[in-house]
A and B are shown apart, each in its own frame.
Chain A
């Protein structure tokens, strides 16, 4: 697609319920990232995929959080037994495989995010 697509854009759920957030990266981008942004905060890294594998999942806050990626494309972030502190905007980004630009830095394209509110 033309950009990174995330769904749903807004999700309101009750404490204790499970939620799934979806990310559709730019076609051909093999790297995919999930970040969380709480009110007034910067972006908190959650997990990174290269293809279907996740070399770095160090940012997942607890075992209630999991993510998978299938076919080297779509990724799903699942939060089980949601808590109020899980309320945040969940952002997905993708990047071409090992293309770091001339600078050697990752070049990420972000989606608009999924806003999760846990009541």
Chain B
């Protein structure tokens, strides 16, 4: 079983629409990260959320960490074609140094 479940797996929308993608788990985490990966590139860190219920905003992107620190959501307002990419959530397990990733949500924003 996957530690992190991301949904939806694929999302295709028109420019200007709003969207939300989710990252869920049955485990509790001290922090959670969101990355965006564009074709042919490695993932790039967008944000780290730490506190249960925390909300962080990055321009048109809003990230929320669940109160119980088991899940997170990413909301994009007025999506643009430049938002196209694979959105990955990731966590560090216990005292391990390794970062564990979900399978991602592949977002396509059509002009």
Partners in one complex: yes
Contact residues of A with B, CB < 8 Å? 4, 31, 33, 35, 40-43, 45, 48, 50, 55-56, 59, 91, 93, 101-113
Judged by a CB distance under 8 angstroms, whether B7 is at the interface is no
Judged by a CB distance under 8 angstroms, whether B19 is at the interface is no
Closest to B2 in A: A42
Q: Nearest Cβ in chain A — how far from B33, in angstroms? A: 6
Cα(A101)–Cα(B30), bound, Å: 13
Cβ contact within 8 Å between A42 and B104: yes
Inside 8 A of B33's CB, which chain A residues have their CB?
105
With A43-B88, A103-B48, A105-B31 as contacts: A113 and B97 at CB distance below 8 Å? no
Contact residues of B with A, CB < 8 Å? 6, 30-33, 40-45, 48-50, 88, 90, 92, 96-104
Inside 8 A of A31's CB, which chain B residues have their CB?
97
User: Which of A42, A111, A113 contacts B88, CB < 8 Å?
Assistant: A42
Inside 8 A of B45's CB, which chain A residues have their CB?
107-109
Q: Nearest Cβ in chain A — how far from B73, in angstroms? A: 17
Closest to B50 in A: A103
6 sampled A-B residue pairs with Cβ under 8 A:
A33-B98, A40-B103, A43-B90, A101-B48, A105-B50, A106-B97
